[in-house]
Amino acid sequence: MKLDCGRLQEHFSIQHIGMTNLKELEMYAPRNLRNEDVSTFNVKKCLISTDKISLRDWNRFFKLWIKGSNLRLEHLIIERNAIPEWNILLNGLKAEETEGEGSTKFIVRNSRGICAKIGCKLLYRDVFQMEFTVSK
């Protein structure tokens, strides 16, 4: 399902869409998207293109994943107009640095022992893509 910056009716929110059992959800410049909404998503693969969620909020999201939330999530792609500051994004995550594919990536482990990689790459001009991929 793709959601491209459309207005939703009052009784229908991004959180309602994300909570449905989806294989894939793409959102481009979503309005009123909050970290709390993303934490309730029930999707396997999610792409979010926005700068509205801060790196500290993404850090909170990853901490919640480490504690056991978002069990279905396998792949999260976040497109931003700024290079992520790793010290903010990874603060308190106990991430291990790993090299690979020409870029630096970090590995985090959740409470169930499942690993995920967090990485970043330049897509084009000023747009960076952060990727969160859960190991199978």
Cα–Cα dist 66/15, whole Å: 21
Pair type for strands 103-109 and 115-124:
antiparallel
Domain count of the chain? 1
pTM of the model: 0.85
Nearest 10 degrees: CA dihedral of 131, 3, 19, 113?
-10
How many CB atoms lie under 10 A from the CB of residue 17? 18
* pLDDT (tens digit per residue) in 1-55: 544 444 544 555 555 565 567 888 888 887 778 888 888 888 899 999 988 899 9
Q: Which domain holds residue 93?
A: 2-134
